[in-house]
Chain A
C-alpha cells in the first residue's frame, strides 16, 4: 500500500473512532482517549530511533516536555492555534534531537541510554529554574471551554482529541513510510551491524541524526497540546517518569521492528492504564507497566508482533530454525563504546 493510501485509510479509521466518541456522548471517552493517542504518537516517535536503529532513548520525557514548554512560552508571548503550537513544539524538539544526536551518537548501548537520561535531567533542572515558565511552581494555561468553528461550538476536549487523532495518523504514516523506504533499510542495517553498514556504503552517522531528529520532533509534537489538556503544567508532570517508561515499554510490548508494534503496545497498555486509573488507582499504572514488561521480556522478547510471527513461522520450519538458533550466532557482540 502506498503511503498516501495508507494515510487516507488511517484517517478513515480515525474518523470512525471520533464518531464513535460522539455517539457515546461521554466526555470521559475523549479525556482518556487523548492520553492513549498521545502515547501512540510518543511510542511511534520513540520507536523510530529505538526500534528502527536500535538506540535506546531514556530521555523521551525531555522531548515531550520540550513540546509542552514550547507551548507554555508561546502561550505567554504569542498565542497561536494549537496545530501551529504542535508544529513549533515539533521543530524545537527536533532541533534538540539533532543536537543530542550529534553529541551522543558516538556512544553505543548503555552509554547512549545514560546520556539521554542525563539530557532529561539537565533540561528538567533548567525548566525548574526558569521563572518565565513558572519554574517549579508550574504554569497555568486557561483553555477555553469550546472552540468556535464557523459558528459551531465544539467542546475543547473533543478538539484536542481530534488533533491528537490526526497527529497519530501522521506519526504512523511517517513511521510506516520510513520502514518501507531506503532510509528504513539504512536504519535496519545500523541496528544490525554498524561497521558492516558503513562497509556497504551506508552513511551511518547521517542516518542516525535523521533518526534522532524525526524521533525527537514526533515526541515534541505529542507534548505540545499537553498544557491545554491538563490546564496546569509543572516540571514533575511534564518530565514524568511514566513518559520515559511508557514510550519504551509500549514499543517493546507491541514489537519494535514495525510501525504496528508501538500502535498495538500503546493502545493496549494505554487503555489498560486508563482503566486501572478509574477502577483501582492511578498509582497502579507503573506497576502494570512493570509487570507486563517483565512478562513480555520473558515470554515474547520481540513483542506481540514477534510472537505472532513466531507462531506463524512455526508451522513451516520449526526444527530447522531451532537448530540454527542454537548453533550459529553469526554476529559477535560489539563493544559498548566506539
Chain B
C-alpha cells in the first residue's frame, strides 16, 4: 500500500535563508502526526509547500502516489488536502454558514462532478457548523465569533472540503486549557472518521495527547521522527528546544 503523503527531499529557500533543507516525510493513511519544532524551524513553510501556497525548489511532494509539483493550491484542495491557517482567515463579509459553503461549491462539487442542490448545501453547512458547535451562530458574521469559535470555524471550513488529509496549523495557539482539550477532542473525532491529520503545535500537552507519531523540524531539517515518548527524550530534540 502506498503512503497517503510522501514528502521527498523538499527544499525551499527565501533569498539566502534556507527554510527547508531536504525534508523527507511519509504519512500513512489514517495516521495522527504531530509536527513540532522551534519558531522559524520551517514547519509552516513545509505546510505551505505541501498545500501549494509556496512551491518547493527541490524535491517532490506526492499525494496518493501522484506528484503535486506545479499544482496550485486549489488543485491540491481538489485532490483532497485541506488546511487550517495559523491565524484564522475567515471570509469576513460572509456569514458562518456561507464560509462553509465555499468549499462545498468549489471543492466538493468538482469531485462529485455535479452541483449540490441548494437544499443539500444548506443542510450540509448547518451540519458542519453543528459538528463544531457553531450551529446557533450559523447566520452570524465571523466578526462576532470568539477566538475559539473562530478556530472551530477554520477547522470546519477545512472539513467542508471533505479532505483525506487535514493539516491543522497551530489551531490552538492562544486558547485556554479547556479550549485546547476541546479542539484536540474534535481532531481525534475527525481522525476516527477516517481523516489523516497532521497537527502543528507548540502546546506540548496537546501534541502528546494527540500524536501517534511525532516529527521534529529544526532549522529546516528533520531531526527526529518516531514515537512521541521516545522523540521528546531524544538529546538532539532537547538541544533544539533548550539550547546547549
Contact = CB atoms under 8 A, between A and B. Distances in A.
A185 B98 contact: yes
B72 A325 contact: no
Interface string A9-26: 000000000000000000
Given A200-B157, A201-B106, A330-B150, A192 B92 contact: yes
B83 A199 contact: yes
B93 interface: yes
- Chain B interface helix/strand/loop/mixed: helix
A257 interface: yes
B144 interface: yes
Nearest to B167: A199
Interface residues of B, number: 40
A257 B93 CA distance: 9
Given A182-B105, A188-B91, A192-B91, A199 B150 contact: no
Nearest to B108: A201
Given A202-B74, A325-B143, A332 B106 contact: no
Q: Which of B53, B74, B145 has the most CB of A within 10 A?
A: B74
Interface string A234-246: 0000000000000
Interface string A62-97: 000000000000000000000000000000000000
Nearest to B158: A199
A203 B107 CA distance: 10
A320 B87 CA distance: 23
B91 A189 contact: yes
Contact of B102 (A185, A195, A203, A257): A185
A324 B144 contact: yes
Contacts of B110: 201
Nearest to A202: B106
A199 B93 contact: no
Contacts of A196: 85, 89-91
Interface of A: 182, 185-186, 188-189, 191-193, 195-205, 257, 320-321, 324-325, 328, 330-332
Interface of B: 51-53, 72-75, 77-78, 82-83, 85, 87-94, 98, 101-103, 105-107, 109-110, 115, 141-145, 150, 157-158, 160-161
Given A195-B73, A195-B85, A331-B90, 12 more contacts: A182-B109, A186-B106, A192-B92, A195-B53, A198-B53, A198-B74, A199-B77, A199-B158, A201-B74, A201-B77, A201-B103, A332-B89
